Amino acid sequence: MYSLETAGAEVTIVKADRRGIVDFSRLGSHLRPNSRAIVITHASNVTGNVVPIGQVGAFCQEHGLILIVDAAQTAGWHPYNLHDSPIDILAFTGHKALYGPQGVGGIYVKSGSVVPRPLKTGGTGVQSFSKTQPSQMPEALEAGTLNVPGIAGLKAGVSYVSSLGLPKIRELEAHLTGYFYQGVKGIPGVEVYGDFSSCDRCPIVSLNIMSMESSSVSQLLADEYGVFTRSGAHCAPLMHGALGTGERGAVRFSFSHRNTKKELDTALQALLDLAKRPRRSSHG
């Protein structure tokens, strides 16, 4: 979006509140005569909050807008039915809830919708004598040699998820997330981010411990307790700006249906221990 803005496109950022929630009932106040599309992340990779796709899709259809969805956090978790969905374009990665390798993903473009301009061109192997990129899909967006090992790994991941079924995966992950949240929210000095009033949320809990830098907490969790998290800004500067964590980021716990309560208890005890340690403020 920033590169498009640099090239002259007008971009409006609809801000979230301190819980990471966007008030989509006010989308109309951001509508311009030249508005063409709404681009949203289906679920935040920081808070786990889920966007109401149906509500946003209805707004797009009412105003003739293209709906573009980032499903990096929800592909393999949300039961998409794209044939009956208002989504025009959906992009996803393979290495999260689809259990594929890093470096592979995909993009869905609804039939009859606008075809995105390819980022790379050439080497399609189907129109070698043409000087231009093929216009038909999917070759229009598939320049060069495809990542066959990555695609094979993604296929294996999709098969695994399909064999378990999304209802079972979601039920297990929701139970683990709720268990962890109930345990961590009462630890003195721990601040948890996001909206936990809804059960429809991704299995993510992000937090900070008092004045400790998020990177320090993650390092201590890994080195001393064998608990592995991700700290920092999570490639989501706008969300961290809304949460007030722009300077130090947050510590993100992401849960899988393969995690156990015993592992979560270890993490909870580790956070309790770290919160009790005497320390100096990292900001002097």
pTM score, whole prediction: 0.92
**Residue ranges of the chain that CATH labels 3.40.640.10:** 2-164
Task: For 178-191, write each residue's pLDDT tens digit.
Answer: 999 999 999 999 99
pLDDT at 280 > cutoff 80: no
Does domain 166-276 fall into CATH 3.90.1150.10?
Answer: yes
**For residue 55, what pLDDT is reported?**
96
- Note the CATH number of domain 2-164: 3.40.640.10
**For residue 122, what pLDDT is reported?**
85
For 149, the enclosing helix (H) or strand (E) is helix 148-164
What is the percent of the chain where pLDDT is above 70? 98
**For residue 284, what pLDDT is reported?**
44
Task: For 105-140, write each residue's pLDDT tens digit.
Answer: 999 999 888 888 888 888 777 888 888 888 888 988
**DSSP annotation string for 152-195:** HHHHHHHHHHHHH-HHHHHHHHHHHHHHHHHHHTTSTTEEEES-
Rounded to whole angstroms, how far apart are CA atoms 220 and 200? 31
**Residue ranges of the chain that CATH labels 3.90.1150.10:** 166-276
